[in-house]
Structure 1
Amino acid sequence: MCTGKCSRFIGVLLFPLGICAIIANLLLYFPNAQILQVEQITDFVWFFNGIIGAGLLAFLPAFMMLGAGGEGCCANRCGMLLSVVLSALGAAGGVYCVIISAMGLIHGPLCDTGSGNYEYPFRNSTEEENYLFNPEIWNTCREPENIVLWNVVLFSILLGIGAIQAVLCLIQVINGLFGFLCGTCMRKRKTGVA
């Protein structure tokens, strides 16, 4: 596969991943399909890791990859070089999404434990009593209903999407460097011998 085709392929893959990340991040604002007050939403949702990190920062290199994979002057070396820079930015966005999602998973959701006040009941848990490995204590959170499962699933999806995007963008950095140094696909020219 030539560098141009590889670039287009990665660019096409980043679009649905970015859309899924944005949707997953938006769903975190509405736990169990409920509208909550701003102060009742888990704090790691407000870092916009799916909207900005795995969303917008993935769309920028994706657009450039699609353009760099096409025909252009100098076998589109300039486009490939720009795709390297934007892919590095996309990889940073993917890593940002992974870090924030992991932190959201580790610290757990903000919920009402029955006292009427919203708090983080799992924030100070040790590794042995971590809520992620003890689903039987998830019912500690009374409101919103199923908030723990909601957060675990969506933050896990965001973590996976961010990791995939970071890997794809790093592959494009290498691919783009080859495309810049060697050019995109070199078509064989027909030599007419009479």
Structure 2
Amino acid sequence: MTCCEGWTSCNGFSLLILVVLGVVINCIPLGISLVEGDSASQNPISCYEWWFPGIIGAGLMVIPATTMSLAARKRACCNNKSGMFLSSLLSVITIVGAVYCMLVSLQALMAGPLICNTQANSTVSCKFSLRNLSNFDPESFNLLWFFNDTCVSPTGLKTTTINDLGNNWRIPNSGSEEDRHRIFHFSVFLSLLLVGILELLFGLSQILIGFLGCLCGVSRRRNQFV
């Protein structure tokens, strides 16, 4: 097995693990919503769990490149120049899915759980639009909703500022429903963000090694030497 095949196989196994992690992590808040509420739309952790960043972005969109990369281990369809080139093209879908997962996770981390933003605490207040992802502003990104003593103001709106962080800073515990939702929200979407970043790196890596394998070639099948 050449360097190209070995690298491709390693990428395939790594992406397979990340696909499973992304799907499982995304299912955690969905499961909590179903257990704690009377229906799937009641008491969700966040609006963004229903965007399925781990199931669609980090999951389904990564499967084609993962399958193609794993084929290199058996010296099957990836054991030729066209196969390596195809693995690079499929990795573009992986990158798109990873970026989608990252953007949704960043938006979720910026907004905080629904319990911090609305008294209704229901998906009725959610706005499902791709414009939300394109309107992401890094300058407005902060985690005050997580580190403040409480993320809910008397009016239901967040009025805290950066200066308040030093006075009210604390790590939430599981002593209240609000803190439990904050911990789950932060843990889930931070994990999905890390999964998306890793998938992005492996996708870029496979594009590079795929083009190298296409240009330089890969090993021949053993039966060609017999």
Shorter-chain TM-score bucket reads 0.7 to 0.9
The answer to whether the 8 Å contact 2:102/2:196 transfers is yes
* Structure 1: 5+ residue stretches without partners: 121-125
Q: Which residue, 46, 51, 64 being the options, matches 2:50?
A: 46
Alignment partner, residue 77 of structure 1: 81
How many pairs does the alignment contain?
182
Alignment partner, residue 3 of structure 2: 2
Residue correspondence of structure 1 range 9-158 to structure 2 within 5 A? 9-31=10-32, 34-36=35-37, 37=39, 38-41=41-44, 42-71=46-75, 75-111=79-115, 117-118=120-121, 130-132=144-146, 134-138=147-151, 143=177, 146-158=180-192
How high is the sequence identity, in percent, across the aligned residues? 27
Deviations 1:163-193 (A, max 9, x none): 0001001000000000111112479xxx9xx
Distance 1:52 1:95, change over 3 A: same
Deviations 1:12-54 (A, max 9, x none): 1111111111011011213388332315322111111100100
Q: AA paired with 1:48?
A: F
TM-score normalised per structure 1: 0.80
Alignment partner, residue 123 of structure 1: none
The answer to whether the 8 Å contact 1:18/1:59 transfers is yes
Deviations 1:106-162 (A, max 9, x none): 0011128996x3278xxxxx6678313x24224779646610110000000000000
Distance 1:74 1:64, change over 3 A: closer
Residue aligned with 1:34, SS: helix
Q: AA paired with 1:99?
A: L
TM-score normalised per structure 2: 0.69
Residue aligned with 1:19, SS: helix
Alignment partner, residue 195 of structure 2: 161
The answer to whether the 8 Å contact 2:78/2:84 transfers is no
